[in-house]
Amino acid sequence: MRAKDFRVPLAEHFHLTDEEMNAWYPSGNGEIFLDRISWALSYLFIAGLVEKPKRGDYKISDKGLSMLESCSDEQISEYIKTTVNARTPKKESKIKDTLEEASETTGENEPTPQESLYNSYDNIKQSIQSEILTTILSKKPQEFERLVVRLLQAMGYGGEVKNSGFITKFSNDGGIDGIIKEDILGFNHISIQAKRYALGNNVGRNEVQSFVGAVAGTPSKKGVFITTSDFTKGAMDYVDSLNGSPTVILINGHQLTEYIYDFGLGLQTEMTFKVMKMDSDYWDSMEDDK
């Protein structure tokens, strides 16, 4: 079913009135009920209880069917909550630290409207990042290699060079999955290693060391190792010990989804908010009423 096709049966299930079912946000940016359906489907997808056989379509997964037969509604809800939280990267922010510090001194826990807006933006971004990661893990490894090449190009690497990025032959890549050419003749280039690993299956020192050896044999001696999971401490310490010879950058799953989100790769802008503030110079130029 498509998201909009859930509207009527769910409204009947929850005994919603026509007014409740057709209510819009005060801003006019969409229907509240349809938006909540979309969020519910997003969480179910992140938890692996529904699948997307094609764009816009949702289908219950084998895991979803199994849980319906063996678990209560409360157990399913708890599973979704736990899984989504585990797959959503948590990032401490200065805003949160400031709020917690203020609450200790003033006893006030209510955020300002602007702080609420920032928190809502972060929550939406983190949810989309989790969905990006889940989607990547459902694709073939070769597609992940193509994706990271496109991402580096979107980030500006390769510049104006035509066909600056490409993946190497899958069966004989010599430890390098992709290349970004930084000049027309290809004297300078960035070597890429891409590992589509499940969460928790972290990349170790041996794999990174093999990649470093391959990068050291290239003219430019620059490489980027990207994974959907993370790197062990041993792997990170090893790269730190190189001191830039060769230069190797490690990008884990959280950083990867941050870049994909920030550069809009495979994403569409849903809505834009314009937040204004007072121009003190403009108002201060006026004479005060004494």
Tell me the C-alpha distance between 79 and 245, whole Å: 46
Please determine, for residue 102, whether its predicted confidence score (pLDDT) is greater than 70: no
- The pLDDT of residue 114: 65
* Residue intervals in the chain for CATH 3.40.1350.10: 141-262
165 and 192 Cβ atoms separated by less than 8 Å: no
pLDDT digits (tens, 9 = 90+) for 166-212: 887 654 445 788 899 887 876 788 999 999 998 889 999 999 999 99
Tell me the C-alpha distance between 39 and 154, whole Å: 28
Question: β-pairing, 247-251 with 50-51?
Answer: unpaired
What CATH code is assigned to 141-262? Answer: 3.40.1350.10
Supply the pTM of this predicted model. Answer: 0.69
State the residue for tokens 């041993």: 234
Tell me the C-alpha distance between 256 and 80, whole Å: 24
Which residues have a Cβ under 8 Å from the Cβ of 197 and sit 6 or more positions away? 203, 227, 228, 229
State the residue for tokens 């585990």: 86
pLDDT digits (tens, 9 = 90+) for 5-16: 999 999 999 999
- The pLDDT of residue 105: 43
